[in-house]
Structure 1
Amino acid sequence: MRTTRNPRRMKLALAASLAATLTLAACGGDDGGGDAGEDDGATAGGDTDCSAFEQYGDLEGKSVSVYTSIISPEDQPHIDSYIPFEECTGATVEYEGSREFEAQLLVRLESGNAPDIAYVPQPGLIERIANDFPDQITEVGEQAQSNIDEYYNEAWRGYGSVDDTLYGAPLGANAKSFVWYSPSAFEENGYEIPETWDELIALSDQIVSDHPDVKPWCAGIESGGATGWPATDWVEDVMLRTAGPEAYDQWVEHEIPFDDPQVVEAVDTVGEILRNPDYVNGGLGEVQSIATTPFGEAGLPILDGSCFLHRQASFYQANWPEGTTVAEDGDVFAFFLPGQSAEDRPVLGAGEFTVALADRPEVAALQAYLTSPEWSNEKARVTGPGWVSANSELDPANLESPIDQLAYELLTDENATFRFDASDLMPAAVGAGTFWSEMTAWIASGKDTQEALSAIESSWPSE
């Protein structure tokens, strides 16, 4: 995760992996006086109701630099989302994207040339900056903290904190706990959306029985230098379901070893699907083909009926061929990867954070704006499919894609248990190293579960 070939950009993608489908909408910010989703703020002509921006004060002549991994043309929706802030406060936002963001951010911090705000895509990097550059990182300001407490699930505060100090404010988000399917295939076969894990397995068995020449599941984990990450997402999702959130947290923090029986159970449960020759790999090959199938192509057999189910995040919508209708009554859609019971709602996800590296009023103001309902709704309006915020005051109507709306519903469900992607919280040598490679070997060569997990455990950095 610390290399130029950033697996997070492959993996989480958020704006970057989805922006090929972005379409710009000419709208603006909310007035802040009514429902956060009302379209009575900025207009195509640039007229903005600035009442919600008075809290930031007069920032005329001030500028704030923003540094991210999101480059042209994917950067344009971000740049457009700043317009109401600039119009109403007088400040200027200077945006800079870089393919070498993570490496160069650390170089710039080392040389004393840090940006004012950085978009950081993983909590581990926030912790590294806080530990290595304590004099440069700035605690999230009071206005932004107030927004976070009011509009976000409390888990986001934890993921942006280091030693109980909040340094990262949530920006974008995504939900990973989805299974893609063909609504028409389900209707033709009389299949219903499973609401429990047992029902999911029963559905898989029913498909095997009904369609001897078709596999219920298709999967692929090839992703260049990041090969293996889709398999780790499988493990993380299942770990939440079989071991529960407390054990998941202990696993992430290495309070239990990587080869703990609870982790073994989770991986073996994944194996009941991914290493089951009766279940995989529809339209693509045998079990071993999962290791060599590009993740972006892995779900495509659903379209020709070669498979029925594909577990992948909301951002997978960008991988369907042009002309594919993604909707509940379309060519493809997705349902929540069920828990142990219908009431069990574990949600695996990820996201980006803003980190302030300068202590000036205009920097704090922009960071606060980026946590506000005004920004979340503005960003949704100027961005096409593939972007979601976990801000509870985002109006789902401003999200163009039904999958984004479904992801938002999960991310803001008060009854859901949200956990951040484990591999992004673990040390890079594990989360972006042995976890990927050992899960690849587990599939490609049938490596024993205990042996694979013990190899990961032995690679965990010593304190």
Structure 2
Amino acid sequence: MSTLKPRRTLSAAAVILSVAMLATGCADDQGGSSASPSLGLSLTTAAFNKAKEIAGDQKLTGSITFISTLGGDERNRYLATLKPFEEATGVKIEYTGSEDYQALVQSSIDAGKPIDVVQAGNTSIVRKYAGSGKMVDLNKLVGKDQLASAFNPSMLASTTKDGANYGLWSMLSNYEIWYNPASYSGPKGTDVTWDQLSAWTDEQSKSGHAPWCMGLSAGASTGWPGAYFVLNILLKQAGTDFVAALGRGQASWDSPEVRAAFATFAKVVASDKTVAGGPSGVITTDPGEAGLGMYADPSQCSLMHWGTFTASILQAAEPKAEPVKGLDFMPMPTINPAYAKAEGYGGNVMSAFSDRPEVAALMKYLASVEESNLIAATGNWTGTNVKTNNSDYPNELLGKISKEILEGTDLVPFPTAVAPAAVNSALYKAVSEFVQKPSSLDANLAAVQTAAKASS
């Protein structure tokens, strides 16, 4: 379908309808069909009206430079949520997608023309620029009271320095244990312990059925799905205080706690009796492909530790992965009862390097429940505003995850959501090599710790 570009003289109702069509994937900026999900007229109308309210009588003009790591389908999904702001205010979002965003941000600062808004893959950019005078305090730009009423205290704390806030979590992911209810016969629910789950997986292994599905192949980031499995184990064994300290560089990656998490993980990836494909197979298997093993006949595996986005990825590839009936999840099982309610999260963080009225309006829009509801409707992420309407998620699984995160009282960002890229890369390497050669752990944990010290 051709690109829809409504004229400024259109009525508000016509503009809203145009925005809804853009946001439902009828058109994209290149004039072709996009992969964006249907966000719905009511949600886009509410977001349009919110942007109008934020703009008020201001004469907002021009454009906002915006850089993010999102590409492909995720880019389309996210940009659909910004269309109402663009159409309501007349301000154009000039989007650049790049994994090398940190270098681009620094070069723009060096050139005296900072990028206006950065959507970073974790809070390391906040750690780098907070308090430098280059990054804008959102308590002033958006409003401290507005932020306090919109976000979980853990999320605000993770981007606050010396009383100033420098980042909005714009979308969240956490990690669960996924299964196919049509074939899974093991323990499930919110009160499952790791011992109970392990007893069942041991039985499966002895019977000749590998219980775990896993794929770690991801190019230069190979190992990352396993890294989050290790970190979730660590959280349930050592608790939020230790995990937070690890992310801040105040605890060692070469510690007994981290080694204990790897030891637990080792039992999952021990052989082809415990994980489908065995250690060598998981290294060359894509994570999404691994999950399809739950739908083979007979099933190749039964359980998968993966993120909030699991449902949208598996449903796109396998019709049997119907929410609740063909796909469900349980929270990461309890290991240490003291940390039963601990939940980790990651996601994307929005920071501003300009206080122009246009940028202030965008940041206020990003903090709104209306934008968060659109994030929910994409079906790919959890909205971050505590008032996000769970009924706006395209399936009830995401609504359950949202409730689990946003209403949690023992939340902490995973270290990967805080640490610089060099630390994360070293961790992913440690996991991928550990799966193939457990004796490599000593050298690799030392390398992760070296990277953490270098960035502190």
Match of 1:429 in 2: 422
1:258–1:457 CA contact under 8 A, matched in 2: yes
- Structure 1 residue 448, shift from structure 2 partner: 5.3
How much is the aligned-residue C-alpha RMSD, in angstroms? 2.9
How far is 1:291 from its partner? 2.4
CA distance in structure 2 between the partners assigned to 1:243 and 1:343 by the alignment? 8
Describe how 1:52-451 pairs up with structure 2 within 5 A. Answer: 54=53, 56-69=55-68, 70-71=70-71, 74-86=74-86, 90-99=89-98, 102=101, 103-130=103-130, 134-142=132-140, 143-176=142-175, 178-186=176-184, 189=185, 192-193=188-189, 195-209=192-206, 212-275=207-270, 278-280=273-275, 282=276, 284=277, 286-304=278-296, 305-320=299-314, 322-340=317-335, 341=337, 344-381=340-377, 383=378, 385-415=379-409, 417-432=410-425, 434-447=426-439, 449-451=441-443
Residue 323 of structure 1 deviates from its aligned partner by: 4.2
Deviation, 1:241, is 0.6
Task: Evaluate the alpha carbon distance shift between residue 169 and residue 63 of structure 1 in structure 2; reply closer, same or farther with a 3 A threshold.
Answer: farther
Matched, 1:453 2:445: yes
Aligned 8 A contact 2:249 2:453 in 1:
no
Preserved contact between residue 67 and residue 117 of structure 1 (Cα < 8 Å): yes
Secondary structure of the residue aligned to 2:221 is coil
Amino acid at match of 2:110: E
Q: Look up the SS of the partner of 2:41 in the other structure.
A: coil
Q: Which amino acid aligns with 2:135?
A: I
Write 1 or 2 for the structure with the bigger share of helix.
2
CA distance in 2, matches of 1:450, 1:100: 29
- Which amino acid in structure 2 is aligned with residue 159 of structure 1? S
Segments of 5+ residues of structure 1 without an aligned counterpart are 1-18, 31-39, 43-47
Amino acid aligned to 2:291: G
Distance in 2 separating the partners of 1:453 and 1:175: 24
Distance 1:290 1:72, change over 3 A: closer
CA–CA separation in structure 2 for the residues paired with 1:351 and 1:441: 25
Measure the CA separation in 1 of the matches of 2:164 and 2:151.
17
In the alignment, is the contact (CA less than 8 A) between 1:257 and 1:457 conserved in 2? yes
- Contact 1:29–1:49 (CA under 8 A) maintained in structure 2: no
Per the alignment, in what secondary structure is the counterpart of residue 388 of structure 2?
coil
C-alpha distance in 2, partners of 1:144/1:28?
A: 27
* 1:9 alignment counterpart: none
- SS of match in other structure, 1:180: strand
Quote the Cα distance in structure 2 between the aligned partners of 1:454 and 1:78.
Answer: 37
Counterpart CA distance in 2 for 1:81 and 1:319 is 20
Distance in structure 2 (CA, Å) of the matches to 1:355 and 1:68: 10
Preserved CA contact (<8 Å) 1:183 1:330: yes
CA shift, 1:275, in A, is 2.3
TM-superposition CA deviations, 1:157-180 (whole Å, max 9, x none): 12222454211122111122x111
Evaluate the alpha carbon distance shift between residue 436 and residue 76 of structure 1 in structure 2; reply closer, same or farther with a 3 A threshold. closer
What residue identity is the alignment partner of 2:429?
Answer: S
- C-alpha change, 1:92 and 1:457, in structure 2 (3 Å) is closer
Q: Contact 1:390 / 1:412 at 8 angstroms: preserved in 2?
A: yes
CA distance in 2, matches of 1:145, 1:352: 20
CA 1:217 to 1:76, structure 2 compared with 1: closer, same or farther past 3 Å? closer
Q: Are the counterparts in 2 of residues 118 and 354 from structure 1 also a CA contact under 8 Å?
A: yes
Name the CA shift for 1:313/1:378 in 2 (closer, same or farther; >3 Å): closer
Tell me the residue number matched to 1:33.
Answer: none
- Alpha-carbon shift at residue 437 of structure 1 (Å): 1.5
Q: Distance in 1 between matches of 2:240 and 2:93?
A: 40
Alpha-carbon distance in 2 for matches of 1:317, 1:337: 16
For 1:302 and 1:185, the matched residues in 2 are separated by 8
Aligned with 2:156: secondary structure? Answer: helix
Question: Does the 8 A contact of 1:172 with 1:351 survive in 2?
Answer: yes
Instruction: Work out whether residues 35 and 77 of structure 2, in 8 Å CA contact, stay in contact via their aligned partners in 1.
Output: no
- SS in structure 2 of the partner of residue 183 of structure 1: coil
Whether the 8 Å contact between 1:21 and 1:318 is mirrored in structure 2 is no
In structure 1, the partner of 2:37 is 23
Aligned-partner Cα distance in 2 for 1:205–1:99: 43
CA distance in 2, matches of 1:459, 1:55: 43
The Cα of 1:112 is off from its aligned counterpart by 1.8
Query: Contact conserved, 1:62 with 1:92, CA < 8 A, in 2?
Result: yes
- 2 CA distance for matches of 1:323 and 1:146? 44
Shift of 1:116: 2.2
Aligned partners of 1:359 and 1:67: how far apart in 2?
A: 14
Shift of 1:24: 2.5
Shift in Å, 1:297? 1.9
Q: Is the 8 A contact 2:117 2:359 kept in 1?
A: yes
Secondary structure class of the residue paired with 1:68: strand
Check conservation: 1:196, 1:342, Cα contact below 8 A. Answer: no
Which runs of 4 or more aligned residues in structure 1 lie more than 6 Å from their structure 2 counterparts after TM superposition? none
Tell me how far apart the structure 2 counterparts of residues 72 and 246 of structure 1 sit (CA, whole Å): 36
CA 1:257–1:306 in 2, change beyond 3 Å: closer, same or farther?
A: same
CA distance in 1, matches of 2:121, 2:145: 22
- Listed one character per residue, the Cα deviations across residues 24-73 of structure 1 (whole Å, up to 9, x for unaligned) are 2342458xxxxxxxxx847xxxxx656x8545432234345041333566
Cα pair 1:59 1:91 within 8 Å, conserved: no
Distance 1:251 1:208 in 2: 34
| Closer/same/farther in 2, CA of residues 397 and 254 from structure 1, 3 Å limit | same
Higher mean C-alpha deviation, range 311-320 or range 323-332: 323-332
Residues 227-254 of structure 1 deviation map (CA, whole Å, 9 limit, x = unaligned): 1212211111011111111111222223
In 2, Cα distance between equivalents of 1:124 and 1:327: 37
The CA distance in 2 between the partners of 1:66 and 1:403, in whole Å, is 35
Residue 363 of structure 1, CA deviation = 1.8
What is the CA–CA distance in structure 2 between the aligned matches of 1:258 and 1:342, rounded to whole Å?
Answer: 22
